[in-house]
Amino acid sequence: MLIAGAGMAGLVCAARARELGLAPALIEKGTRPGGSMLLSSCVIWRHREWDDFRADCPGGDEALQRLIWERLDDALAWLESLGAEPVWRDTENPRTTGRRYAPRALTELLARDVRLETPLPADAEPPLVLATGGYPVRLAQQRGLLLRANPWSDGAGLELARARGAELSSGLDEFYGRAMPAPPARIREEDYVRLAQLYGSEARVLTDDGRDITPPSLAWHENDLAQLIGPSAWYVVEHTNERIEAARAAGATVRQRDDGRLAVHVAAGVTHTIGGLRVDTRARVAGLEGIYAAGVDAGGVATGGYASGLAQALVLGLAAAEDLAAG
């Protein structure tokens, strides 16, 4: 059994597979385990109410959403059974519930026998779990957007499965992302969380040629705004705030306008892709025998909105291991 990708989904799948008596080989293209999870805020969450999940992600696959929504609490308890210590026992958002972990400690707890700098071979045979983290690198390059993810997830899992006739999910053009300070700001991986320009609800949004594209309403997560702004836009606000000052210190363009307001140059940063391989509730890729996709290599969970990528990775990683162990 081969698992490709030692991010959240791959690490979880390997740990559960070992627990169930399997001997998985876990390969990782990058120079370290942890994937985008290591860079994340590491809040693993679900909507408190099922109807809110459906309303927030209306184009998503209902069966997968149901699986994640119903299994997440047990999955978090499983993580704790391995020794994972939450740093928060709940989210700070009344609409959601979950746990927050320290990403480095979680990675260290889960990462065992990872073969680093070993990319997924194109001729890999089943049983195979694809957990390569979707295609944020490729999507960012194609659209001229910033990358706000690990630098290795360029769609290898998707390509391998597609070449063998796999079915794809909805949402292939969509991403979860954040407005980030536009170049020439220098953004290091460790600043991905701190430099997110998350005050869109207070901003007018202008294009480079001054057209006002402020949407009439905004989702609480502002992911819709990240889709809208693309590679270059301006947030115009009355007053500065901590995030603007952090952006300014990183070299972002922040202008004082004639009307006294501030204009901050922003660009969308791609955190993960929302579309991917179509899977069933046992994480099996539709149309292929013995090939699974976990994490954001699986697609169509949050189409039309935003949901926790880490919850998707945790639940589908467990589902893949359990299905393989069941034979």
Ligand X SMILES: Cc1cc2nc3c(=O)[nH]c(=O)nc-3n(C[C@H](O)[C@H](O)[C@H](O)COP(=O)(O)OP(=O)(O)OC[C@H]3O[C@@H](n4cnc5c(N)ncnc54)[C@H](O)[C@@H]3O)c2cc1C
Task: Give the pair of three-digit tokens for residue 87.
Answer: 């740093």
Q: Which of 26, 139, 149, 195 binds ligand X (CB under 6 A)?
A: 149
Minimal distance in Å, beta carbon 316 to ligand X?
8
46 binds ligand X (CB under 6 A): no
Q: How far is CA 153 from the centre of its chain?
A: 11
Three-state DSSP at 237 gives strand
Q: Quick one: which segment of 82-90, 106-114, 245-253, 304-312 binds ligand X (CB under 6 A)?
A: 304-312
CA distance 298 to 292: 9
Contact indicator for 315, 173 with CB cutoff of 8 Å: no
Three-state DSSP at 166 gives coil
Q: Which of 3, 9, 262, 318 binds ligand X (CB under 6 A)?
A: 9
272 binds ligand X (CB under 6 A): yes
* Position with the least CB separation from ligand X: 7
Contact indicator for 219, 94 with CB cutoff of 8 Å: no
Q: Quick one: which segment of 35-43, 62-70, 79-87, 211-219 binds ligand X (CB under 6 A)?
A: 35-43
Q: Which of 1, 26, 28, 72 binds ligand X (CB under 6 A)?
A: 28
CA distance 135 to 175: 10
27 binds ligand X (CB under 6 A): yes
Minimal distance in Å, beta carbon 83 to ligand X?
20
Task: Give the pair of three-digit tokens for residue 173.
Answer: 């053009």
Q: Quick one: which segment of 23-31, 47-55, 200-208, 234-242 binds ligand X (CB under 6 A)?
A: 23-31
Rg of the Cα trace of the chain? 20
Three-state DSSP at 269 gives strand
Write the binding mask 89 to 128 for ligand X: x where contact by CB under 6 A, - elsewhere: ------------------------------xx--------
Q: Quick one: which segment of 42-50, 104-112, 213-221, 232-240 binds ligand X (CB under 6 A)?
A: 42-50
CA distance 290 to 282: 11
Residues numbered 54-83 forming contacts with ligand X, rule: CB under 6 A: none
Q: Which of 313, 315, 318, 319 binds ligand X (CB under 6 A)?
A: 313
CA distance 14 to 104: 18
Contact indicator for 68, 312 with CB cutoff of 8 Å: yes
169 binds ligand X (CB under 6 A): no
